[in-house]
Amino acid sequence: MHGLIFRTLEAFISDAFGPDRWAQAVAFSDLPITSFEAMLQYDAAYFPILLTACAQNLDRAPSVILEDLGAYLITHQNHASVRRLMRFGGDTFSELLHSLDDLPGRTRLAVSGLELPHVHVREPIPRNFTIHCTGTPTGFGHVLVGLLRAMADDYGTLAVLDHRGVRDGAEIIEVQVIETAFADDRGFSLAETEAAHLG
């Protein structure tokens, strides 16, 4: 599994709860690694073990940790490039949702070897979206919920997002876009360049 995924979990736990909590969780997990590099590959079996260890150490559900991790990726200054790359998806939050089918492909373009679950978006009723995520890492849907909630804020859009669990092997997310000009759009300029980097 791509090191960026592990590195992101490490960065999130360290930034949000302190490096000590990360060290405790890693020690508890009994894995032979204490710190992860973004540009190396690791055994995919490590991820659920680490996530469980973090959840026990922080006394939070794994789904809550993953959701907060998604929001962290968009809002934390260290990952400003992730927000920018997401904004390439569209001018409005709804356009961004419609671009999510391309997310795994775009991610592979950005970082070859970084495989994300297959994402399928439908808008059966205007402004009511259903997103299906199929594949590993399991729990990616929770990350997507946190990430999209933060992106809705970024666009100044009021939206309600809900992880509806797993059906037929796919994580289901429902999104209701309520108000598109709810708050100020944080803005996005193609010309802006930011030094921040992934991971």
Q: Is 111 in the site for another protein (CB under 8 A)?
A: yes
State in angstroms the smallest separation of the CB of 164 from another protein: 30
- Nearer CB in complex with another protein: 111/158: 111
Looking only at residues 81 through 100 of this chain, which bind another protein when binding is defined by CB under 8 A? 81, 84-85, 88, 91
**Footprint of another protein on 170-189 (CB under 8 A):** 189
**Residues 6 or more apart whose Cβ sits within 8 Å of residue 144:** 70, 100, 119, 131, 133, 173
Cα(65)–Cα(69) distance, rounded to whole angstroms?
6
Q: Applying CB under 8 A, does 116 fall inside the site for another protein?
A: no
The residues, any chain, with a CB within 8 Å of residue 17's CB and separated by 6 or more, are 58
* Beta carbons of 70 and 147 less than 8 angstroms apart: yes
Q: Does 77 bind another protein (CB under 8 A)?
A: no
Q: Which of 21, 60, 98, 106 binds another protein (CB under 8 A)?
A: 106
User: Is residue 199 within the footprint of another protein (CB under 8 A)?
Assistant: yes
Helix (H) or strand (E) holding 16: helix 3-17
Please state, in angstroms and rounded to a whole number, the distance separating the CA atoms of residues 175 and 62. Answer: 21
Q: Tell the smallest beta-carbon distance from residue 105 to another protein (Å).
A: 10
Cβ of residue 44: shortest distance to another protein, in angstroms? Answer: 20
110 binds another protein, rule: CB under 8 A: yes
Per-residue contact flags (x/-) with another protein for residues 17 to 46, judged by CB under 8 A: --------------------xxxx------
C-alpha radius of gyration, the chain, whole number: 17
How many chain residues are in contact with another protein, going by CB under 8 A?
A: 23
On the 0-12 / 13-18 / 19+ scale of CB atoms within 10 A, 98 is middle
Helix (H, G, I), strand (E, B) or coil at 59: coil
Q: Which residues bind another protein (CB under 8 A)?
A: 4, 37-40, 81, 84-85, 88, 91, 106, 109-111, 189-191, 193, 195-199
